[in-house]
Structures are given as C-alpha cells and as structure tokens.
Amino acid sequence: SVHSLRTRKIGHAISCDVHVQVDPFLSVSEGHIISVSVERVAKECLEDLNDVTVHIDPEDDETVAPYATLPERAEALGMLTKALFNNKCDGEIERIQLHYIDSRIHVDFYLPLSCLKSDQSSDEILSKLHETVDALEGFGKVKVYFGKG
C-alpha cells in the first residue's frame, strides 16, 4: 500500500515522494528493487516528473509510533551478545537479523547445521535463545535457522 504521497512543482518540473508499505520480511535488496520499480513507473506515467523519492516502510508508519526507544543495531547486538555470553551456542551464531516491527525487535539467528551434530539438541538451542531474548526489554519473537554457509 501507499501513503504520504507529496508532490511539488518547480517551474515545469514535478518532484514527488511517497511511502510504499511492503512485506516487513522482504530483504533490503528486494525492497530496493521495488523502490526502483515505483520510480520507473511513476516517471512513465508523468512526463514532467523528474525526481521521485520512495520510502520503503515495513509497516504503516502513519499509525505506528516511531521506535525512538528501541536500541539501534549496535546496541541491540551488544545486549544480545552480553546475554548470550557463556551460552553454549553463542560462538556459533553466523548472523543475526533484527526486525523492527510492532514496536519490538524480533530476532532471527542463523546457525550452522553442524550445531545439530553436537551433543546439543535443537530443542536445547531453541529454548536457550528464546529464554535469552525473552528476558530483554523491547525484544519480541525469536526464529532460528540452521543451514550451510
């Protein structure tokens, strides 16, 4: 969906900016492709349109308050790392993806498949990660992905 469409006329040129709400779990690169596509289509529709700024939103930011109180990535990772310290799997996490949705930070952990070959069961890893994140203020759901590379 689309909101906050604003246009300005400068001489014969038209400039516009618009917010486009997308699936909040799209990748940054897919969100970028969507913004490029919106810009191209808008320019095809209006020949005097020479400047388009597209904001990609994960949710309707007209109805959801901004997350001024949630920690940004560096601070959030610091909190997670500190909470996971001495946890059996903390050294094996390959990537952490943060999702700022519904006024919370939802966390995706990416772990190597080899984690599951060790004496730890996946249930043990999952419950430890859930327990860790549940104890942190401002954090929400946890997802854990196991894979190669």
Q: Which residues bind Zn ion (CB under 5 A)?
A: 19, 57, 61
In whole angstroms, what is the distance from residue 108 CA to residue 101 CA? Answer: 13
What is the closest distance, in whole angstroms, from the C-beta atom of residue 93 to Zn ion in the complex? 32
Please name every residue paired with 2 in a beta bridge, in sequence order, or none if there are none: 20
What is the closest distance, in whole angstroms, from the C-beta atom of residue 95 to Zn ion in the complex? 27
With CB atoms as reference, the residue minimizing the distance to Zn ion is 19
What is the closest distance, in whole angstroms, from the C-beta atom of residue 28 to Zn ion in the complex? 16
What is the closest distance, in whole angstroms, from the C-beta atom of residue 100 to Zn ion in the complex? 13
The pairing of beta strand 104-112 with beta strand 95-101:
antiparallel
Tokens (6 digits) for 136: 């942190």
Q: Which is nearer to Zn ion, 61 or 92 (CB)?
A: 61
Q: Which is nearer to Zn ion, 18 or 93 (CB)?
A: 18
Give the sign of the dihedral formed by CA 111, CA 112, CA 118, CA 123: positive
Strand segments (E) across the chain: 2-10, 13-21, 49-57, 95-101, 104-112, 139-147
Q: Which is nearer to Zn ion, 19 or 106 (CB)?
A: 19
